Amino acid sequence: MDNKNLEFVSNLRTAVTRLTKKLRKESATGLQLSLTERSTLSSLYQYKEMLPNELAALEKITNQSMSGILAHLLELGYITRTSSETDKRKVLIKLTTDGEKTMLRIRSERDQWLAKAIEATCTKEERELLKQVIVPLTKIIDFE
């Protein structure tokens, strides 16, 4: 890769990292949870119920680390653990009503800030360009 492309990659990484950090700070609710705890709530919202090892694999962390995260979320009342009806050795994790409300509040706080920031700083053309960037960014995120 030539220097011009390396500079582009570095600039993109810096911008994405700074935006991510900024979004984390724009949710008072989200500041009470770690990044992985917030992501776990989001995954449970999306998939409804999951096994702890499935959550660990999705988050790319060890089962032991996920166990600690789940213990904290359980203590906060954001998740429940129930035995699987098909295999009593397995425990299914689900969001509680409070967990779902918290996850949606975090998402809403960030979305509201981001919408306000885009409206205040971007032209109509730039907003359209941002819409087009979502697809390639998602491809990059999903790359293994």
Give the residue ranges of DSSP H helices in 3-142: 3-25, 35-47, 52-59, 63-75, 97-121, 124-142
Type and span of the H or E element at 49: strand 49-50
Burial of 93 (0-12, 13-18, 19+ CB in 10 A): buried
Domain ranges of the chain: 3-142
Q: In this prediction, what percent of the chain has a pLDDT beyond 90? A: 79
User: Which residue matches tokens 């089962």?
Assistant: 63
Tokens of 74: 């359980």
Instruction: State pLDDT tens for residues 52-97.
Output: 999 999 999 999 999 999 999 999 999 999 998 888 889 999 999 9
Question: Looking at the whole model, is its pTM more than 0.85?
Answer: no
Name the CATH architecture for the domain at 3-142: Orthogonal Bundle (1.10)
